[in-house]
Amino acid sequence: MRINKSLAILELVGGKITGTANGEIIYHDAQIPPTEAQIQTKLAELQAAEPMRQLRIKRNQLLAATDWRMVSDYPGANQTEWQTYRQALRDITAQTPSLDGNGQLTGITWPTPPTD
């Protein structure tokens, strides 16, 4: 997700924007628009949270891809190894992710899935 000033404004006003006209935002129900300081604070908050948000998305995808291995009739003999791997994925949020110049996650050591 691209973090920009528009997203910060949407977060601040709860999406209550009717549209734009001549480059100006039209606020629903004549709400008082946020100040530039409020927008910049929210923008910094969203940017700081983005690495962890992306980490959780990827982690959840990896967990979902292995859900089938946790059913009681999983045919593999290595179900305990998969349980350990999945726990390591859940614990990955203890690490401190960052984003590189291209917006890709860095600073994460992903667990290695078991071999079948």
CA dist., res. 1 & res. 39, Å (int): 18
pLDDT digits (tens, 9 = 90+) for 61-105: 999 999 999 988 888 889 899 999 999 999 999 999 999 999 899
How many C-beta atoms lie closer than 10 Å to residue 110's C-beta? 14
Sequence-separated (6 or more) residues with CB below 8 Å from residue 66: 82, 85, 86, 113
pLDDT digits (tens, 9 = 90+) for 42-55: 999 999 999 999 99
**Residue 89, phi then psi, degrees to nearest 5:** -65, -40
CA dist., res. 1 & res. 3, Å (int): 6
| More confident position, 87 or 35 | 87
Strand (E) positions, 1-116? 17-21, 24-27, 98-99, 105-106
DSSP annotation of 115 reads P
Helix then strand then coil, in percent of the chain rounded to 5, is 55, 10, 35
Give me the residue spans of the domains in the chain.
5-106
The pLDDT score that the predictor gives to residue 58 is 97
